Structure 1
Amino acid sequence: MKTMSKLMTATAVVAMTAAGAASAKELKYAHFQAADLSSPKHAAALAFEACVEGKTSGSIDVQIFPASQLGGGSEIMEGLQLGTVQMAAIHDGPISAVYKPFSVLAMPYLFDDQAMAWSVMDGEFGDALAEDMLAQTGIRNFGVADNGVRNFTNNVKPVAEPADMEGLKMRVMTAPVWVTLVESLGASATPVPWPELPGALQQGVVDGQENGVTNIVNASLYQHQKYVSLDGHVFSWHAYLMSDAFFQSLNDDEKSAVEQCVEISKTIHRGMTAAQDANATAILSEKGMEVVPVSPEQKAMFRAAAQPAVREYIVGEIGADWPDRLDAAVEAYKAQ
């Protein structure tokens, strides 16, 4: 009888576990970096999965889809709006194509360092941008982590000042503001979706591109690029986005778990990416690239050429309100 009782108990536990798994809320989490712990987005995603499933006792089943498995940026943004993708860590370009005010963050040569950039994005400015995005798109932005300080690379010649950009064919993200940035410096710009970038470089469709150290290494772009110029033109972002319809379907404890675990993931993501940016010269030299330093005087030349043109474009697209708010946030940080 005791044996039978134990068997019945074990069967009941298995049945309850199976029932719990069947009723768990599925959270499809998309990102585009490789499924490798050296990839900041994937390391952060795995931390989020463990954190959420632990805090909710498995009532949320996090399923991670790395390396653009669910599609490119446009497809993921559409999926978030339709609810076919519940969550994503996605970069600036595709976000700006759906929610235009996000393009204000493409303003070049604006932030001095990560401390300034994080403070602005974690403060009133970042909160206001997220609230407006939710209202306009139905996509909830929990916050941002680093997509890396963007630098120019190419396979033709060293670039140390704007005049060196003349004649280069540069890949940019699929949002018009990036075309304006590159063309203001004298190069021609070709929008190419992220999954297609390595092939475009290998085949010579474009001469170069602009990205942070993490993405250059993660996608092995260094295999097709000889020169990298450390101009640091834009602090690029990955936003932690969720379908608001999915978020509202969660109970209060599950919502709290998601919010807490995003904060943990964001911190991991920022730290890994910022460390790679800080060691850009060593990392990229080791990969065989020729690192071209850009002096403060040369960076000022880039700023003078690019910032007015990009600002004019952004104001033409979204008005002056968001650019003015961003300028004010930067000035408030400097005044501390």
Structure 2
Amino acid sequence: MLKTLTKSLMVASILASAPLAAAWAGSHAINLRATANSNENDEDYDGLVVFKNYVEQASNGAITVELFIGTQLCSNGAECLQGVADGSIDIYISTSGGASGIFPFVQVLDLPYLMADDRVAEKVLENDTEFMKTMKQKVLENSQGSIRLMTVGNTGGWRNFANTKRRVASPSDMEGLKIRTVVADLPQELVRALGASPTPIPWPELFTSFQTGVVEGSKNGITDIMGMKFPDAGLQYVTLDGHAYMGALWFMNNEQFSGLSDDLKRVVIDGFYQLQQATFASPKRKSIQAYQDFAAGGGDLYVPTPDEKAAFKEAAAPVFDWFQSNVDGGGDVYNALLASVEEAEAEIAAERGSDLE
């Protein structure tokens, strides 16, 4: 009796999954080439591992994901995004600075002091918000339909000011410091607004630049600071102002995505959701040990008071006008971000109120 029941259940299961299996089996196997210009200790890698595992299992092997970590396929944002556009790369993750040469409006993620914490940022970056819809539409339009923005996750927590010289508790403490930035315009404008000197330096050269005094500070998350051993190069002061959420933009070749069946599109979309959640969580866990190690090594961690943080935001005010005036599409994404932040804050306040009842 038990054997008969087991056999019946197996047959029922096979028949139930047959239409989906047949649909996938009838198409050629799909291999997605995904790259991240980082390393296996990075949040980007954590996200890709989760994405690969989910997509391969949920598609029953109809999709395979091949990971290229580092510079095997491309070495910088412009080169990698060109690879996505022409189809030699299927999936690529970039910081806002890395993608700004192709999509200048993504620098909106570097506008300072707009999102208060992780809870706000994670709501704002949900796929159905006004901000994300606007960003996705602009990426498609500006790439002539060749590149699709799939999701925005996190790559290192929050940007904080760090330096080799002194504790920074107010904008006046930034005066004269040479701060490393990426080549993107907005981070340089922010550093100037705070009275420091922006100095674009390639990431691999930053350790030596701290040692030699070419730069005296940077805008990084603690996991990057400790992962690159910057305290050994003299970086001993970190101000936890959390001026920008370190957004990770995940792009995909639009032709590859559009050519998938609806079932496989859903698998890929859900895979990017899993990836996003993994990158949200990874920096929170890794930063605990990173902060402990920084302090144990003699590093100075300073948390600005609310009044001090307000002073930083006030000093940075010219950056908002600059962004809207000088970045094509900047006003649209800026207004969409403000609207989504306001909505997120209202939702969170309601949720907290409900929990307190």
When the two structures are superposed, what TM-score results if normalisation uses the length of structure 2? Answer: 0.80
Q: Partner residue of 1:304?
A: 314
Distance of 1:284 and 1:74 partners within structure 2: 33
- 3-state DSSP class of the match of 1:34? coil
Task: Provide the secondary structure at the position in 1 that maps to 2:215.
Answer: coil
Query: Aligned partners of 2:334, 2:310: CA distance in 1, in Å?
Result: 20
| Counterpart amino acid of residue 236 in structure 1 | M
* Residue 41 (1) aligns with residue 51 (2): no
Q: Which structure 2 residues correspond to residues 35-114 of structure 1 after superposition, within 5 A?
A: 35-36=40-41, 39-69=42-72, 70-114=74-118
| Residue 291 (structure 2) pairs with residue 284 (structure 1) | no
Change (3 A) 1:29 1:303: same
SS at match of 2:176: coil
Tell me what 2:193 maps to: 184
Aligned 8 A contact 2:194 2:312 in 1: yes
Q: 1:197 to 1:109 in 2, by over 3 A?
A: same
Which residue in the other structure is 1:136 paired with? 142
How far apart are residue 66 of structure 1 and its match? 1.8
SS at match of 2:183: coil
Distance 1:98 1:54, change over 3 A: same
Percent of aligned pairs with the same amino acid:
31
Counterpart among 309, 317, 321 of residue 332 in structure 2: 321
Residue equivalent to 1:9: none
The alpha-carbon deviation at position 162 of structure 1 amounts to: 0.7
The 1:57/1:331 distance shift into structure 2, 3 A limit, reads closer
Deviations 1:172-220 (A, max 9, x none): 1221011001110011102233344334334432111111122223333
Among residues 16, 27, 36, which one is paired with 1:31 in the alignment?
Answer: 36
**Amino acid aligned to 1:323:** Y
Residues 5-52 of structure 1: CA deviation (Å, up to 9, x unaligned): xxxxxxxxxxxxxxx9xx64332211133213xx32212211111222
Between the aligned partners of 1:284 and 1:299, the Cα distance in structure 2 is: 22
Partner of 1:238: 248
- Find the counterpart in structure 2 of residue 16 from structure 1: none
Partner of 2:14: none
Aligned equivalent of 1:3: none
Matched, 1:153 2:165: no
What's the Cα RMSD here? 2.2
Q: What SS is found at the alignment partner of 1:98? A: coil
What residue identity is the alignment partner of 2:115? Answer: F
**Structure 1 residues 214, 24: closer, same or farther in 2, change over 3 A?**
farther
Identify unmatched segments of 5+ residues in structure 2: 1-24, 348-357
Distance 1:192 1:60, change over 3 A: farther
Q: 1:219 to 1:257 in 2, by over 3 A?
A: farther
Residues 1:174 and 2:197 aligned together:
no
Query: Which 4+ runs in 1 deviate beyond 6 A?
Result: none
Contact 1:149–1:277, Cα closer than 8 Å, also in 2: no
User: TM-score w.r.t. structure 1 length?
Assistant: 0.85
Higher deviation after alignment, 157-166 or 193-202: 193-202
> Per the alignment, do residues 140 and 286 of structure 1 end up closer, same or farther by CA in structure 2, a change over 3 Å counting?
farther
Aligned: 1:274 with 2:277: no
Point out where structure 1 has 5 or more consecutive residues left out of the alignment: 1-19
Q: Distance in 1 between matches of 2:297 and 2:260?
A: 45
- Corresponding residue pairs, total: 312
C-alpha contact (below 8 Å) 1:33/1:41 kept by paired residues: yes
Structure 2 distance, partners of 1:126, 1:278, is: 29
With over 3 angstroms needed to count, the CA separation of the structure-2 counterparts of 1:267 and 1:162, relative to structure 1, is same
Which AA in structure 2 matches 1:152?
F
Alpha-carbon offset, residue 234 of structure 1 = 0.9
Q: In structure 2, what is the Cα distance between the partners aligned to 1:83 and 1:54?
A: 24
Distance 1:159 1:239 in 2: 30
Rounded Cα–Cα distance in structure 2 between residues aligned with 1:85 and 1:55: 22
Match of 1:228 in 2: 238
Query: Displacement, 1:59?
Result: 3.3
What residue number does 2:272 align with? 262
Whether 2:172 is the aligned partner of 1:163: answer yes
CA distance change for structure 1 residues 288 and 249 in 2, over 3 Å: closer, same or farther? Answer: farther
1:35–1:66 Cα contact (<8 Å) kept: yes
Distance 1:239 1:107 in 2: 15
2:15 aligns to what? none
For the 8 Å contact 2:175–2:195, the answer to whether it is kept is: yes
Whole-Å Cα distance in 2 between the matches of residues 325 and 135 of structure 1?
17
How far, CA to CA, are the matches of 1:91 and 1:246 in structure 2?
Answer: 22
Q: CA deviation at 1:277?
A: 5.0
